[in-house]
Amino acid sequence: MLEAFQETHAEANRLVLSKNRLKELNNWLEKRVKALEEKIEKSKKDFKNLETHFKNSSCKCDILICENCENLEKKVHYLVNTVDKLSKGKSNFENVLASQNCVFGKAGLGFNPQNKQDKF
C-alpha cells in the first residue's frame, strides 16, 4: 500500500513538473502569437499602402514593364507571402493548444482509477 502511494506521489510530482513546463511554453507561445498578430496587422497596412500607391501611381510607361512597377510587384508578392505564412502559423499554434491534455488525464500510464478518488 505504501509502495503504491509512493509511486502515485512520484507520478504526481512528474506531472506537476510537466504541467509547469507546458504552462511556460504556452505563455511564450501566446506572447509570440500576439507579436505575430501585430506583425500581420502591420503587414496588412503596408500592403494597403502599397496597393493604394500602386493604383495611384503616375507610372504611365510606354514600356510594358518598368523598374518601379517591378519593385512594387516584388513588395506586394513579399507581403502576400508574409501574411500567408503568419496566418498558417497562427492556425498551427491553435492546433497545438487544442491538442494539449488535461493535467489529471492519466490515460496510458497504467493508472487504474477508483470511484472514490479525489482530484487535487
- What are the extents of the domains in the chain? 2-98
CA angle 27-33-37, nearest 5°?
A: 150
Is pTM beyond 0.85? Reply is no
**Confidence at residue 28, expressed as pLDDT on a 0 to 100 scale:** 92
DSSP 39: H
10-residue mean pLDDT series, the chain (120 residues): 88 91 91 91 86 69 64 85 79 72 61 56
